[in-house]
Amino acid sequence: MSGTWGRRSSPRVRQGGWTPWLYLAPALVVLAGLLVYPVYELGLISFLQYTQAQVSGGQPVTFQGLGNYTKLFEDGQFWQVLGATVVFAAACVVSTLLVGCALAVLLTRVRAVPRTALMLASLGAWATPAITGSTVWVFLFDPDFGPVNKVLGLGDFSWTYGRYSAFALVLLEVVWCSFPFVMVTVYAGIRAVDTEILQAAALDGASQWRIWRSVLAPLLRPILVVVTIQSVIWDFKVFTQIYVMTHGGGIAGQNLVLNVYAYQKAFASSQYGLGSAIGVVMLLILLVITLGYLRLLRRQGEEL
């Protein structure tokens, strides 16, 4: 009886093992078409001599191996742009998480009417297209017509003229359109936490900051991991805000980030192979950051 049962159960086990993949197959096909194939083409072009001459058919497409990557790594501007991108993205991620988490906690402390108003205002910022939001922020901080300079008494100070002031202005816009995702996600996580745990911490005399650091943050770690990785990906590949608000990268390229730098190389200079190489480097950096962050959490014994 036991032998018969074992022989009959194994096909069921094998069938059950394939069943999830059958359900995932449509999504995997879509992902392969929208992600895997474009990444393959990006990597392929990065190994080719592919400029406007090759696109128009004037010259044949030639394979040059790591030539584009060698040219890229020998360019001093690339390393300057890479450093600026890392610092800018890190500042955006930290600011977005701080604002989003603080407002998520605030939502749990206010009543229904102000909570609804804050949610609607935040979702409005989230739903605003990047190019529209960037244009509005440029107007608000315009030295001639913007209301911000008038309120702060800054006169004709141009925010986009200086390197750091321009990056600060773009950072504010990026945080403004990104924090709602963090706020809504963290707020949903807080609402799922048992209120008795929070009440016990408050009865023990813990401050709001101590409750967040010692109680909520560990419980919300899986959610914080998701929003952090998502913020890193979004902010590292910022393009629209920089391009619109600094007019293509600022004066003499002082506000360039990797995405805008790749656009200039690929389309403004028609060096499509070099632009593709920059895209591959960005993809690898994001993979290393994401995998490194997840590995660090696992070393700390966190269950994701």
Instruction: Tell whether 74 and 147 lie within a shared domain.
Output: yes
**Number of domains the chain contains:** 2
CATH number of the CATH domain containing 182: 1.10.3720.10
Chain-centre distance of CA 263, in angstroms?
18
> Residues 114, 28: one domain?
no
Length of the chain: 304
Q: pLDDT tens digit string along 216-246?
A: 888 888 888 889 988 999 999 999 999 999 9
| DSSP state letter for 51 | B
Please report whether residue 77 resides in a domain.
Answer: yes
C-alpha distances in Å from residue 108, one per residue of 49, 73, 124, 259: 57, 49, 20, 37
Give residue for tokens 């058919």: 57
Give the strand pairing for 48-49 and 62-63. antiparallel
On whether both 31 and 76 belong to a single domain, the answer is no
Residue 44 belongs to a domain: no
DSSP 269: S
Nearest CA among 262, 255, 275, 240 for reference residue 87 = 255
Please indicate, yes or no, if residue 54 is contained in any of the structural domains: no
| Identity at 53, one-letter amino acid code | A
228 shares a domain with 138 = yes
Same domain flag for 256 and 107: yes
Write out pLDDT tens, residues 131-175.
Answer: 999 999 999 999 988 899 999 888 889 999 999 999 999 999 999
Tell me what pLDDT residue 301 has. 57
| Residue numbers of the domain that contains 2 | 1-35
Residues 30 and 139 in one domain: no
Summary mean pLDDT of the chain = 87
Q: How far apart are the first and last CA of the chain?
A: 41
